[in-house]
């Protein structure tokens, strides 16, 4: 069964360092998302991406964050100058249908620990 | 602003019982509602998707209902098993793209 894959599964970094989290969405999907879950808190929307541009972003997704689809398969989230409060599980998701009508498929997540 | 609430926060029942998990949302202008399962430290597994025009969806021992006008959904699990132990999340699709999640119900099925 097709699945969303994410790497790394866990990354530990020092505060102020740059981090890139990688995702390979399901191959025929066109809509891509990043969500995050701080330990013990709700899953929160960060950004949606379609046709090589951001469709929507939350107030969390400030200038520190960026997304990119560098080739036909990868979808990346870059966090510049990480802060302690960026420690969280980051989930990539994808769907084949627009306007929220389709089922969203999530990856296993990348756990980011900022020291 | 959409708020999604799940009750109870935690539930522990003996194996074999039928149970209901509740989800409520404040804004009825949703595209759909999705129930997920999350095992500790793991990703989100989609269980059921209900479109806003639908009233319920079934998959195996799971049945989810949606009452959009009252802002409520329930997830019914029949004949619960220890393997059903996990956190169950509901999420509504708000606007064009994003899911708004509840905080989840942590379910423990005791053998």
Q: CB distance A42–B45 less than 8 Å?
A: no
Closest CB to B34: pick one of A55, A103, A109. Answer: A103
Distances (CA, A) of A38 to A85, A110, B36, B43, B85: 9, 12, 17, 13, 21
Q: Does B22 touch chain A (CB under 8 A)?
A: no
pLDDT in tens, A87-106: 999 999 998 876 656 788 99
Q: B18-35 pLDDT, tens per residue? A: 999 999 999 998 989 999
Nearest by CB: B46 against A44, A58, A105: A105
Mean pLDDT score, A14-41: 94
> Would you call B16 an interface residue with chain A, using a CB distance cutoff of 8 Å?
no
**Residue A46: pLDDT band with limits 50, 70, 90:** very high
pLDDT value at residue A100? 59
Q: Which residue has the tokens 């999640």?
A: B101
Place of tokens 């021992």: B61
């Amino acid at each position: 069964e097709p699945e969303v894959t994410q790497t790394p599964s866990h990354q530990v970094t020092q505060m102020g360092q740059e981090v890139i989290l990688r995702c390979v969405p399901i191959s025929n999907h066109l809509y891509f998302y990043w969500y995050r879950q701080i330990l013990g808190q709700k899953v929160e929307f960060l950004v949606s991406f379609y046709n090589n541009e951001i469709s929507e972003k939350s107030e969390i997704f400030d200038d520190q964050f960026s997304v990119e689809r560098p080739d036909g398969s990868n979808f990346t989230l870059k966090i510049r100058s990480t802060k302690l409060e960026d420690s969280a599980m980051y989930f990539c998701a994808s769907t084949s249908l627009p306007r929220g009508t389709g089922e969203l498929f999530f990856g296993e997540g990348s756990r980011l620990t900022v020291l | 602003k959409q708020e999604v609430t799940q009750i109870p926060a935690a539930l522990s029942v003996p194996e074999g019982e039928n149970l209901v998990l509740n989800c409520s949302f404040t804004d009825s202008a949703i595209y759909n509602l999705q129930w997920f399962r999350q095992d500790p430290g793991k990703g989100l597994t989609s269980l059921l998707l209900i479109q806003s025009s639908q009233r319920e969806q079934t998959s195996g021992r799971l049945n989810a209902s949606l009452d959009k006008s009252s802002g409520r959904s329930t997830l019914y699990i029949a004949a619960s098993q220890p393997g059903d132990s996990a956190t169950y999340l509901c999420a509504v699709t708000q606007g064009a793209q994003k899911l708004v999640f509840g905080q989840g119900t942590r379910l423990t099925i005791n053998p």
